[in-house]
Amino acid sequence: MKSTVIIRSLILGCGFIFTLYTNALAQEDDLLSLINTDEQEEIEYITSAFKSTRVINSHSIEHVAGGVLDFRINHRFGMLNTGSYELFGLDQASIRLSLDYGISNRLSVGLGRSTYEKEVDGFIKYRALWQSEGARVMPISLILISGITVNGLKWEDPERTNYFTSRLAFYYQALIGRKFSEKFSAQIGPTLVHRNLVETSDDKHDIISIEVGGRIKLTNRIALTVDYFYTLPDQLPDEIQNPLAIGFDIETGGHVFQLHFTNATPMNERAFITETTGEWGKGDIHFGFNISRVFTLSDPRKKH
């Protein structure tokens, strides 16, 4: 009952934000229409706060352009402290493949499949506010995300009555961010994960976490990126750690390579927020990389 109230409140809150935003835009457009079009200043939308739609683990305030398909390969090796026998983790691997598509410059959808627990995940991502200058000044970007994951492992006990809904989990995230300069961008994102099935009656179905991410541009093509999820206390077992990822973005034309280190094995919100056990202090660190390749399927300028 409690989880239902929380989820409904989130949905109503997002709807309220969207309503306020669209009303404000309508009023502003009416005022601008009264000005001579020759004297109107153009709206300059801020782009490239991050070079990818993901900081590392987390979504970023960047968005796939309308008509563009983003094919992503996330690859994470084993832990560095496994030693030379496992070639310091290189003999092991966890992979997520995904496709993100921009329906418009403000709305996109995505679908992914991970080797970790054979999970399939999907999301809808909406840019409610877009940082801009000129005729319309908006100091921040606001991204609303709703996602679902489906556990693909075989049932532990196939003889008992098992429900498909037990495989489902959901997450909801609101990212607030800003590109402060050409070299520095930052974001923060309250996140709610809801799990339909938990292991024991003492485990919580709803987990609240807060993401903090940032990007510092080092050269024209290389940037340092960091993202961290802080989960509020007394929600998860003591062995669960907050996921931290540190990496470098390397841009090469149509590709973006992300080389990173993280204590999280899984690569979707449900899993890395609620099941990260690696401790940085003990060397439970994975080296990994993300590759993004975009394909333009239709003219992004026509996708508003």
pLDDT tier at 303, thresholds 50, 70, 90: low
More confident residue, 174 or 2: 174
What pLDDT does 301 receive?
Answer: 62
206-217 vs 222-231, strand pairing mode: antiparallel
HEC per residue, 173-211? EEEEEEECCCCEEEEEEEEEEEECCCCCCCCCCEEEEEE
| Statement: residue 32 has pLDDT above 90 | no
The pTM for the full model equals 0.82
Least confident of 84-88, 104-108, 149-153, 260-264: 84-88
| Distance of alpha carbon 61 from alpha carbon 108, whole angstroms | 12
- The mean pLDDT of 69-73, rounded to a whole number, is 94
| The pair of three-digit structure tokens given for residue 223, joined into one six-digit string | 């940037």
> What single letter denotes the amino acid at residue 20?
L
Per-residue pLDDT of 72-130, as tens digits, reads 999 999 888 888 888 877 878 899 999 999 999 999 999 999 999 999 999 999 999 99
255-262 vs 132-134, strand pairing mode: unpaired
Start-to-end C-alpha separation, the chain: 39
| SS3 state of residue 140 | coil
Angle at 98 between CA 265 and CA 270, to 5 degrees: 45
| Distance of alpha carbon 128 from alpha carbon 106, whole angstroms | 7
More confident residue, 184 or 13: 184
What pLDDT does 203 receive?
Answer: 87
Q: Enumerate residues 6+ apart whose C-beta is below 8 A from 107.
A: 124, 125, 126, 127
Residues of the chain above pLDDT 90, percent: 62
More confident residue, 21 or 123: 123
Range of the domain at 108: 2-302
What pLDDT does 38 receive?
Answer: 46
Q: Per-residue DSSP letters for 22-34?
A: HHHHHHHHHHHHT
Taken in order 296, 225, 304, 101, is the CA torsion positive or negative? positive
Cβ atoms of 213 and 231 within 8 Å: the answer is: no
Query: Which CATH number fits the domain that encloses residue 17?
Result: 2.40.160.40
Tally of structural domains, the chain: 1
Separation of CA 197 from chain center: 23
More confident residue, 72 or 298: 72
Cβ atoms of 115 and 95 within 8 Å: the answer is: yes
Taken in order 199, 273, 91, 117, is the CA torsion positive or negative? positive
| Statement: residue 28 has pLDDT above 50 | no
